[in-house]
Structure formats: C-alpha cells, structure tokens
Amino acid sequence: MSQLPETSARQGWGERVLCLIGGLLFIATFTAIVAGMAARSFKLSGFEWSFEIAGIGFIWITFIGTAIAELRGENVCFDGLLKLMPARAQHAMTVLCAVLLAGVSGWLLYSALAVLKRSAWVPTPVLRWPTGITTLALISCAVVLLLIAAIRLFKVFSGRGRVLGATR
C-alpha cells in the first residue's frame, strides 16, 4: 500500500492565507456549479451567470493551488535524485531549480502583464465584469512564485540550509 509523503504540520502565514482564499473560492465555485445545474434541471432562467463565476473561480483556484504546492515543495521535487548526488551537485541543482522557477515565473508575469494591458477591461460575456479578473490570478501566482524563488536563492547563498522542496 502506498503512503502519502509526510508534510510538516507547521504552515507559514502566507500558506495559510492562500489556503483560506483557495477554500473560499472553492466553496463559491462549487456553489455556482450546483446553482447552475439546479437551474438547468428545473429550467429556471437567470442563472446563466453561475457558470461564468465557476470558470473564474476555477482559474483562481488552479493558480492558488500551484502557489501552495510550490510553497510545500510538492510541484516538482528531485529529492530522490538529490540524495544520490554529492553535496556540490545538490547545491548546484537547488540553485538551478530556483533560477528556473524565477525565470519561468518572470516570463509568466511579463506575459500576464501584456495580456492585462491589452484586454483588462474587455467585459465577460454574461456578467460584463472586466476579464482582467482572470488575468490577475496569473499575475498573483507569478509574483508568489517569484518570491518563493527569491527566498530559496537567498537561503542557499546565505547558508541557511538546503531548500529544494519545502521552504520551511
């Protein structure tokens, strides 16, 4: 029988805030989906907005989940490979992973800002909300991932321990 990897019971305040926001958005998304399904089942009009809310919520939940997984070191983890490497190679791999995370996050931030600049105020089809709401999810995720990469690089170069995986 397979076991789930043990995770630290200690959560930082940033992770707690992200989990709270993600949980609230999940409840809102789930409620919107159920409302839309009920409206379709009973042929009620006026609930067309529910699927738009669900779509926006899903995008936010996905990006918040990505940030939480990276905080916990659960996105991409090379622990098995790292244990087989000598100390210098472990250090180099940790730096490489943090630099790659920063690079990808920076590119995502740049791209998301370009999208936001061009289409932030285009209204959504039903609610007529600005589509920048969904783009802000990507911007938020990219900023959080950049901060994680910066903290990891700081920890590596200040000698505060191996940081590939969880940042705690």
Q: Does residue 102 contact residue 70 with C-beta atoms inside 8 Å? A: no
Q: For residues 44 and 67, what is the distance between their CA atoms, to the nearest angstrom?
A: 38
More confident: 8 or 55 = 55
Enumerate the β-bridge partners of residue 123. Answer: 130
Enumerate the β-bridge partners of residue 130. Answer: 123
Query: Mean pLDDT over residues 9-38, rounded?
Result: 92
Instruction: Give per-residue pLDDT as tens, 125-161.
Output: 999 999 999 999 999 999 999 999 999 999 999 987 6
- Phi/psi region, residue 43 (left: phi>0; alpha: psi -120 to 50; beta: rest), is left
Segments making up each domain of the chain, as ranges: 13-158
Instruction: Give per-residue pLDDT as tens, 45-97.
Output: 988 899 999 999 999 999 999 999 999 888 777 777 888 889 889 889 889 99
> What's the whole-model pTM score?
0.83
Instruction: Give per-residue pLDDT as tens, 159-168.
Output: 876 545 544 4
